[in-house]
Chain A
Amino acid sequence: MRSFWPIYKRELFAFFVTPLAWVLITVFLFIQGMHFFLLVDHFASMGPAASDQTPIQAFFGNTVLLYLVLFLLIPPMTMRLFAEERRSGTIELLMTAPVSSWSVVLAKYASVLTTYVAMWAPTAFYLVILQRSGEVDWGVAASAYLGVFLVGAGYLSLGLLMSAVTTSQFLALIMTALVVLGLFILGVGEFVTREGTLMHAVCSHVSIWAHMNDFASGIVDTRRIVFYGSCAILPLFVTVRAVDAWRWG
């Protein structure tokens, strides 16, 4: 695990020294700022009685806005992690240093998760802005951010896996986007399947829409934590196996 730190530092460096991270963060903040403006504008013009939800709920769940940015931003964040190193051959140098597969995978994952958190951090200002003119339930906000973190952790881990199974960044991007989209569509199945069927149970279990709705309402359900925890840990485990498998290719 001693090699975790240098690889983590280098990954963050590589991410922020290239334009990619800045482009992604700019696009992210621009889109989120637009969403925030539209939502606040909407709630202000409707008046308090017009809706049964708060701007925080709408911002973090119950609208398509959150899923749109995740769908657009997660795949380009993770695509390069392994695919680029395998394409350029630097993976050979990395793996011939005295490092373990676990530390390489965890360092890369931690770096991209850190970037994800850094991306979301400025949105806390939105809540500060809200508080100046209204009331913010900080408990609900914390639970919403927990939800965002968990969903991101799961998706980034899936993206990391996709990057490890191909040498093409583009293919990694497409596959990650498909998995993220697939999970979302499967979740939407919750609303079209009949209650009580197995399909309905499966769909509602993976329904990010319903999950984020809960989190954004301040409901921290341990089932969700377990689900996204396994979404993060399982792909990491498979990625480590994939990294070990290159040795035998």
Chain B
Amino acid sequence: MISVQKLVKRYGSGPRGSNAVDDVSFEVDKGEVVGFLGPNGAGKSTTLRILSGFLGMTSGKVTVAGHDIREQSFEARQKIGYMPEAVPLYPEMRVAEYLAFRAELKRVPRRDRAGFVDDAMQKANVDDVANVLIGNLSKGYRQRVGLADALVARPPLLILDEPTAGLDPNQIREVREVIRDLGKEHTVLLSTHILSEVEASCSRVIVIAKGKLVAEGTMEDLSRKRRAAGLVLVVRGDKERALAAVGAVPGIAKVTCEDPPATSAGTHELRCAWQKKLDDAGTAGAIEQAVAALVAAGCFVREVRAVRSSLEEVFAELTSSAAPVPLDPEPPPEAPADPEATS
């Protein structure tokens, strides 16, 4: 549906210019709901504006539904329903009037126009404000009018730039439900910087940071990137011997022990942090060795669990070029307590 090859957008010229989008290539297939993820200023909006035909590209090739966005701009634009980031609308028009204008502009034949407008209003849940001036609408309604506008000509492809920005939680849920329904009939590319949004509505995700593509794949691919940030071992036995045994295992950088009140008598909770640059195989080996060392030291292992980094940390790792995920991170929400705070 969309094919983007080596897309570059450069703002400014000469040495003072900078690439807002830098050599990005990706594909979106028919019927997919794809999340376009990245922190603020990553180049999401710029990319979507290029796809929608509003901005020109510096170099690269974009085809939408088989039409080159540069050479067959008209045909390409007819296939797209675009909703810009701030949802600009004409405040002096009424909702139904506005949508009828947009339908005419998007070349919906006269006899279909009323039906298409009603349909779009129903899908976007704005039929109850059809005769209200857009200037008097709340943010949530304006957002949905923008969505209705994107839908009104029934384009096969929807490009939505931060459709839930600035909404309250209830409205966000509503908009997400609408988008999920739309995914059944349309190909959807939506941008966001909120991870849970992608989790809630997208089948695939494209992550960009600082204008570069940093990851692409299904939601499972992304969650597989969640690395074990550490290891928790619950053991029964002598605390000092257990600490010494685990501390000696190669691959484990640091072991701390704390006994939260909840742990039953005689058991200890050891928290281990991995050494830097430990790969998956190394991690697995270190877990085995740690358990073996504990058993050899006369301790009984009751529980072995990995501390996973949260999706937010995966996002941070992917999008900040500064460093890979820290090995002794702040414990994610599911971890019981902060080892640093108590040791």
Footprint of B on A, CB under 8 Å? 2-3, 5-7, 9-10, 13-14, 17-18, 88-100, 247-248
- Cβ–Cβ contact A6 & B101, under 8 A: yes
Q: How many A-B residue pairs have CB under 8 A?
A: 66
Tell me, yes or no, whether B93 is within 8 Å of chain A by CB: yes
Of the residues A2, A9, A17, A94, contact of B92 by C-beta under 8 Å: A17
Cα–Cα distance between A166 and B104 once the two chains are bound (Å): 28
B92 A14 Cβ-Cβ under 8 A: yes
Question: Which of B49-57, B233-241, B324-332 forms contacts with chain A?
Answer: B49-57
Inter-subunit contact B105/A3 (CB<8 Å) = yes
Query: Which residue of chain A has the shortest Cβ distance to B76 in the bound complex?
Result: A98
Nearest-neighbour CB distance to chain A for B139, whole angstroms, equals 15
**Known: A96-B80, A97-B106. Is A247-B56 also a contact (CB below 8 A)?**
yes
B22 within 8 A of A: no
Tell me whether A96 and B105 are in contact in the complex, defined as CB-CB below 8 angstroms, given that A14-B90, A17-B92, A89-B84 are known contacts.
Answer: no
Asked whether, in the complex, the Cβ of A248 is within 8 Å of the Cβ of B56, the reply is yes
B54 touches A92 (CB 8 A): yes
**Is the pair A95, B53 in contact by a Cβ cutoff of 8 Å?**
yes
The CB with the most chain B CB atoms within 10 A, among A5, A18, A100, A248, is that of: A248
**A10 — which chain B residues lie within 8 A by C-beta?**
90, 93, 101
Contact A98 B78 (CB under 8 A): yes
Contacts of B52 in A (CB 8 A): 96
Task: Produce 1/0 per residue, B81-115, CB < 8 A to A.
Answer: 01010101110110000000110111100000000
- Top 4 A-B residue pairs of the complex, sorted by shortest distance between their CB atoms: A89-B88, A6-B104, A247-B56, A90-B88
Contact of B102 among A5, A9, A88, A97 (CB under 8 A): A97
B84 surroundings in chain A (CB, below 8 A): 89, 92-93, 96
A98 surroundings in chain B (CB, below 8 A): 74-75, 77-78, 105-107
Answer whether residue B149 sits at the interface, using C-beta atoms and an 8 A cutoff.
yes
B105 touches A97 (CB 8 A): yes
Closest Cβ of chain A to B99, distance in Å, is 12
**How many positions in chain B have a CB within 8 Å of any CB in the partner chain?**
26
CB of A243 to closest CB in B, whole Å = 12
Within 8 A of A (CB), among B28-68: 49, 52-56
B54 & A99 in contact (Cβ 8 Å cutoff): no
**Contact between B88 and A93, CB atoms less than 8 A apart:** yes
In whole angstroms, how far apart are the Cα atoms of A18 and B107 in the complex?
A: 27
**Which residues of chain A come closer than 8 Å to B92, judged between CB atoms?**
13-14, 17-18
- Which of B54, B101, B102, B107 contacts A2, CB < 8 Å? B107
In the complex, are the beta carbons of A247 and B105 less than 8 A apart? no
For B107, what are the chain A residues with a Cβ–Cβ distance below 8 Å?
2-3, 98
CA distance A93 to B82 in the complex (A): 8
> Could you show 22 A-B contacts with beta carbons less than 8 Å apart?
A3-B107, A6-B105, A9-B101, A10-B90, A10-B101, A14-B92, A17-B93, A89-B84, A90-B88, A90-B90, A92-B49, A92-B54, A93-B149, A95-B53, A96-B52, A96-B77, A97-B77, A97-B102, A100-B74, A247-B54, A248-B55, A248-B56
A95 partner residues in chain B, CB cutoff 8 A = 53-54
Complex Cα spacing A7 to B15, Å: 41
Q: B77 contacts which chain A residues (CB < 8 A)?
A: 96-98
The complex places the Cα of A160 from the Cα of B80 at a distance, in Å, of 29
Q: Taking CB as reference atom, which chain A residue is nearest B91? A: A88
- In the bound assembly, the distance between CA atoms of A17 and B106 in angstroms comes to 23
Contact A92 B88 (CB under 8 A): yes
Q: Are A89 and B106 in contact (CB under 8 A)?
A: no
- How far apart are B132's CB and chain A's nearest CB, in angstroms? 15
B78→A247 contact, CB < 8 A: no
Query: A172 CB to closest chain B CB, in angstroms?
Result: 18
Min CB distance A72 to B, Å, is 24
Docked complex Cα distance between A17 and B101 (Å): 15
Find the B residue at minimum CB distance from A97: B105
Point out the residues of chain A lying under 8 angstroms from B54, CB to CB: 92, 95-96, 247
Tell me how far the C-beta of B264 lies from the nearest C-beta in chain A, rounded to whole angstroms: 61
Closest to B82 in A: A96
Q: Considering the chains assembled together, what is the distance between the CA atoms of A93 and B55 in angstroms?
A: 12
Residues of chain A with a CB closer than 8 A to B78's CB: 98
Given contacts A6-B101, A9-B101, 11 further A-B contacts (CB under 8 A): A6-B105, A7-B105, A10-B90, A14-B93, A18-B92, A90-B90, A93-B82, A93-B89, A93-B149, A96-B53, A99-B105
A-side contacts of B74, CB under 8 Å: 98, 100
Assembled-state Cα–Cα distance A14/B90 (Å)? 9
User: In the complex, are the beta carbons of B105 and A89 less than 8 A apart?
Assistant: no
A3 to B106, CA, bound (A): 8
In the assembled complex, the Cα of A13 lies from the Cα of B93 at a distance in Å of 9
In the bound complex, residues from chain A placing their C-beta under 8 Å from that of B102 are 93, 97
Distance A3 CA – B56 CA, assembled complex (angstroms): 21
